């Protein structure tokens, strides 16, 4: 009997292949000197937003809960990892050891907060998560914007009022300087590392959705009462999913903070959360690959338009909005989507002759 | 001792009282029918039994264990399967995934595989459609899937909430034939129905629920000839 690959497995492998091909393409562009500075500067942000959007899609698409606070988790990840890196950059000199630990710390702290707000909220039925995460994101941003952290030979010092209140020893260093944010973070993020982290995130996300746990989570989304009737601990599965979304959001934040020599909390505002959600919605709810592609395309377009020449620059946001609307129509209208799927199938039929009959199933 | 003993159960939705002190019992091997009009509290009773809703006061003893303090996911593990009202299947998952999820609380791989065969034998249509997305099944097939999914948990007692609701007469007969065959295999059945005629025809005993209270009970064969029941529920 012919061995057939599960459709879900095939889907994930196609995604990996696209990502690797894109990565090689970009590397060639860069090494042959065909990539602009602007484009090269966007490579790490591509990874950051892709990871964050794909992770958010887990909560929005697979669990079916709305979260408006992804920027908050990124913020926690960015700050906690940066504090770690700044404190240890003299003791752990090798970035390839220090940075993975920093990202892990960023992820764990973000997940911790995710679970902390998830425990009371995810028990409730209804859209409470949206309301609470919205508030959470704003609170986190404001707390970090008012946070002063420094360290000296006595260890870490915290204050929420001013730099002077830290009482640092003369040899002390500032880590977080209120609204001015973090500075002195080692620039450990590179496109290669970002790409590796993105690939690992995708493997985690695909394996999660295709696992027994993933099916359980989808069953909660499909029908809560039925999920309860088969003996599923609903709160537990919601927490696992939301925690994983927060974790990867935190990792993305770590990648972000180690890409900039100075980072302010104000970057992680409500707009960023909405932007990430836009990537998820336009990429297709529940479609992880779509989130990544939408994140990359929609991060690139505004920047490309900004550089496209003075005429276009004035119409930058207009063009961007039109593209958003077109993408929305494409991805949400079943008829248009059906038309393109059908054309694609026909094309596939021509190319592969009769082998194109797509058989789904195990 | 009865397998299931419900005593003076009071259940509220906020300030609305849906169950006003109901008591009944189910013995092992019995088919018990719980009949009543729309809004009488039948679904509420089942949801309290399966831990989806909390009870304000009263007790539910299952083989001597108190269920009102037990979370829903543990109740399934104890051998109580629930076929929810309105064919609540997992619409976007395949038939096979739905059935596998029915065995979510179990760890015995061989037992699960054997029960999957058993379910396919009982519902050949489900085997034919195992890779189909469940939401695309017909109403009757979805009801069968919901029943098959419940059986996958290897229950000792199965509670069904209006399995015949909204189905064509052919499917209704088929569903009742299946219930009959389930009881022949030694399962205890608590059947909630508005189709009182069919339910009383296969039940051993029955309870009549009216606005949160049990107003009549007895042998199904007696109730089917009861003047009040005839008038209110049998439409003749
Ligand atoms: N979620 C709810 N919120 C408030 N009242 C409810 C809810 N569900 C049911 N009820 C009320 O509880 C009573 C019993 O409902 P239910 O148990 O669904 O009846 P049945 O299953 O017998 O048709 C009805 O009066 C109904 O309006
Ligand atoms: Mg009902």
pLDDT of residue B106: 92
Q: Which is nearest to A36 in space by CA: A45, A26, A21?
A: A26
- At residue B92, does pLDDT exceed 50? yes
B195 close to A (CB below 8 A)? no
Q: Which of ligand 1's atoms lies nearest the C-alpha of B42? A: 22
pLDDT of residue A309: 64
**Does residue B88 contact residue B124 with C-beta atoms inside 8 Å?**
no
pLDDT of residue A310: 59
Q: Which is nearest to A64 in space by CA: A156, A126, A152?
A: A126
Could you tell me the pLDDT band of residue B48, with boundaries at 50, 70 and 90?
very high
Q: How far apart are CA A262 and CA A154, in angstroms?
A: 25
Instruction: Answer with the residue of higher pLDDT: B134 or A352.
Output: B134
The mean pLDDT value for A235-254 works out to: 97
pLDDT of residue B236: 58
The mean pLDDT value for B84-98 works out to: 91
B41 close to ligand 1 (CB < 6 Angstrom):
yes
Q: How far apart are CA A169 and CA A154, in angstroms?
A: 8
pLDDT over 70 percentage in chain A? 89
Q: What's the domain count of chain B?
A: 1
Q: How far apart are CA B196 and CA B230, in angstroms?
A: 9
Strand-pairing partners, residue B174, are: none
- At residue A357, does pLDDT exceed 90? no
Chain A neighbors of B75, CB-CB under 8 A: 231
Could you tell me the pLDDT band of residue B163, with boundaries at 50, 70 and 90?
very high
Contact at CB, B71 and A215, closer than 8 angstroms: no
Nearest neighbour of B90 by CB, restricted to A223, A231, A362 = A223
Q: Which ligand is nearest to the CA of B53?
A: 1
Nearest neighbour of A219 by CB, restricted to B83, B93, B153 = B93
Instruction: Answer with the residue of higher pLDDT: A3 or A199.
Output: A199
- At residue A355, does pLDDT exceed 50? no
Could you tell me the pLDDT band of residue A360, with boundaries at 50, 70 and 90?
very low
- List the Cα angle A241/A244/A248 in 5-degree steps: 145
Min Cα–Cα distance to chain A from B25, Å: 21
B87 close to A (CB below 8 A)? no
Q: What is the mean pLDDT of chain B?
A: 93
CA distances from B50 to A149, A229, B207 (A): 52, 7, 19
Q: What range defines the domain where residue B124 resides?
A: 4-234
- What distance, in Å, lies between the first and last C-alpha atoms of chain B? 37
Distance, C-alpha B126 to centroid of its chain = 20
Q: Which of ligand 1's atoms lies nearest the C-alpha of B37? A: 22
The mean pLDDT value for B108-137 works out to: 95
Least confident of A153-157, A212-216, A265-269: A153-157
Q: Which of ligand 1's atoms lies nearest the C-alpha of B46? A: 17
Strand-pairing partners, residue B133, are: B94
- At residue A301, does pLDDT exceed 70? yes
How much distance in Å is there from the Cα of B152 to the middle of ligand 1? Answer: 28
B43 close to ligand 1 (CB < 6 Angstrom):
yes
Q: How far apart are CA A327 and CA A37, in angstroms?
A: 27
Chain B neighbors of A233, CB-CB under 8 A: 71, 73
The mean pLDDT value for A107-114 works out to: 98
- Tens digits of residue pLDDT in B203-227: 999 999 999 999 999 999 999 988 8
- At residue B152, does pLDDT exceed 90? yes
Q: Which residue has the tokens 């399995």?
A: B163
Min Cα–Cα distance to chain A from B112, Å: 14
- List the Cα angle A348/A349/A354 in 5-degree steps: 135
- At residue B31, does pLDDT exceed 60? yes
pLDDT over 90 percentage in chain A? 57
The mean pLDDT value for B152-166 works out to: 94
Q: What is the mean pLDDT of chain A?
A: 88
pLDDT of residue A149: 87
- List the Cα angle B117/B118/B123 in 5-degree steps: 95
Q: Which is nearest to A75 in space by CA: A249, A271, A261?
A: A249
- At residue A147, does pLDDT exceed 70? yes
B46 close to ligand 1 (CB < 6 Angstrom):
no
Chain A neighbors of B105, CB-CB under 8 A: 230-231
pLDDT of residue A353: 55
Please, which residues have CB within 8 angstroms of residue A181's CB and are 6 or more apart in sequence? A144, A145, A262, A263, A264, A265, A266
Measured by CA distance, the residue closest to atom 16 of ligand 1 is B41
**Does residue B158 contact residue B185 with C-beta atoms inside 8 Å?**
no
- At residue A296, does pLDDT exceed 50? yes
- At residue A325, does pLDDT exceed 90? no
Chain B neighbors of A218, CB-CB under 8 A: 90, 92-93
pLDDT of residue A320: 76
Contact at CB, A233 and B84, closer than 8 angstroms: no
Strands B4-13 and A155-159, sheet pairing? unpaired
CATH code, B182: 3.40.50.300
Q: What is the SS3 string spanning chain B?
A: CCCEEEEEEEEEECCEEEEEEEEEEECCCCEEEEECCCCCCHHHHHHHHCCCCCCCEEEEEECCEECCCCCHHHHHHCCEEEECCCCCCCCCCEHHHHHHHHCCCCCCHHHHHHHHHHHHHHCHHHHHCCCCEHHHCCHHHHHHHHHHHHHCCCCCEEEEECCCCCCCHHHHHHHHHHHHHHHHCCCEEEEEECCHHHHHHHCCEEEEEECCEEEEEEEHHHHCCCHHHHHHHHCC
For residue B202 the two structure tokens come to 């296969």
Which residues make up the environment of ion ligand 2, defined by Cβ < 5 Å? B 42-43, 85
- Tens digits of residue pLDDT in A184-197: 899 999 999 999 99
How much distance in Å is there from the Cα of B33 to the middle of ligand 2? Answer: 14
Q: Which is nearest to A98 in space by CA: A193, A192, A23?
A: A193
Nearest neighbour of A232 by CB, restricted to B73, B91, B150 = B73
For residue A72 the two structure tokens come to 């908050």
Contact at CB, B52 and A229, closer than 8 angstroms: yes
How much distance in Å is there from the Cα of B83 to the middle of ligand 2? Answer: 12
B54 close to A (CB below 8 A)? no
Min Cα–Cα distance to chain B from A351, Å: 28
Substitution target in B86, B104, B157 with the highest count of A β-carbons within 10 Å is B104
Q: How far apart are CA B37 and CA B40, in angstroms?
A: 6
Nearest neighbour of A230 by CB, restricted to B47, B76, B131 = B76
């Amino acid at each position: 009997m012919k061995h057939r690959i599960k459709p879900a497995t095939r889907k994930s492998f196609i995604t990996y292949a696209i990502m690797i091909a894109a990565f090689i393409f970009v590397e060639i562009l860069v090494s042959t000197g065909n990539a602009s500075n602007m484009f090269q500067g966007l490579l790490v942000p591509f990874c950051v937003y892709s990871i964050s959007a794909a992770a958010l899609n887990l909560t929005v698409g697979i669990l079916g809960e709305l979260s408006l606070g992804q920027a908050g988790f990124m913020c926690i990840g960015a700050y906690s990892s940066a504090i770690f890196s700044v404190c240890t950059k003299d003791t752990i000199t090798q970035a390839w050891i220090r940075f993975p630990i920093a990202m892990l710390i960023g992820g764990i702290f973000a997940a911790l907060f995710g679970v902390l707000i998830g425990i009371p909220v995810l028990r409730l039925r209804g859209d409470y998560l949206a309301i609470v995460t919205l508030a959470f994101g704003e609170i986190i941003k404001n707390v970090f914007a008012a946070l002063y952290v420094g360290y000296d030979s006595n260890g870490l010092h915290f204050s929420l009022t001013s730099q002077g209140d830290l009482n640092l020893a003369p040899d002390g260093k500032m880590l977080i300087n209120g609204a001015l944010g973090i500075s002195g973070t080692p620039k450990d993020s590179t496109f290669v590392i970002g790409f590796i982290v993105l690939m690992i995130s995708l493997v985690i996300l695909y394996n999660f959705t295709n696992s027994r746990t993933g099916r359980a989570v989808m069953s909660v989304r499909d029908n809560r009462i039925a999920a309860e009737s088969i003996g599923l601990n609903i709160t537990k599965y919601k927490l696992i999913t939301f925690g994983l979304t927060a974790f990867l959001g935190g990792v993305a934040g770590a990648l972000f903070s180690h890409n900039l020599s100075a980072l302010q909390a104000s970057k992680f505002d409500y707009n960023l959360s909405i932007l990430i959600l836009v990537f998820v919605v336009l990429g297709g709810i529940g479609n992880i690959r779509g989130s990544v592609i939408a994140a990359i395309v929609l991060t690139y377009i505004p920047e490309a338009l900004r550089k496209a020449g003075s005429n276009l620059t004035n119409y930058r946001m207009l063009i961007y909005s039109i593209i958003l609307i077109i993408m929305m129509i494409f991805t949400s209208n079943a008829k248009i989507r059906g038309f393109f799927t059908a054309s694609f199938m026909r094309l596939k039929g021509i190319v592969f002759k009769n082998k194109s009959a797509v058989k789904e199933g195990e | 001792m009865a397998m299931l003993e419900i005593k003076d159960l009071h259940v509220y939705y906020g300030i609305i009282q849906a169950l006003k002190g109901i008591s009944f019992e189910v013995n092992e091997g019995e088919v018990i029918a719980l009949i009543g009009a729309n809004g009488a509290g039948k679904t509420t009773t089942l949801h309290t039994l399966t831990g989806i809703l909390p009870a304000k006061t009263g007790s539910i003893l299952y083989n001597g264990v108190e269920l009102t303090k037990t979370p829903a996911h543990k109740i399934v593990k104890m051998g109580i399967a629930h076929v929810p009202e309105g064919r609540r299947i997992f619409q976007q998952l395949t038939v096979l995934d739905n059935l596998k999820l029915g065995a979510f609380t179990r760890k015995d791989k061989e037992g699960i595989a054997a029960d999957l065969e058993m379910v396919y034998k009982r519902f050949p249509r489900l085997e034919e459609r195992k890779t189909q997305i469940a939401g695309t099944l017909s109403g009757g097939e979805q009801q069968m899937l919901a029943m098959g999914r419940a059986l996958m948990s290897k229950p000792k007692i199965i509670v069904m909430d209006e399995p015949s609701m909204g189905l064509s007469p052919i499917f209704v007969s088929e569903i009742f034939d299946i219930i009959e065959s389930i009881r022949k295999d030694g399962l205890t059945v608590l059947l909630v129905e508005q189709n009182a005629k069919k339910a009383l025809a296969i039940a051993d005993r029955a309870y009549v629920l009216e606005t949160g209270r049990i107003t009549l009970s007895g042998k199904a064969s007696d109730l089917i000839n009861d003047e009040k029941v005839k008038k209110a529920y049998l439409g003749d």
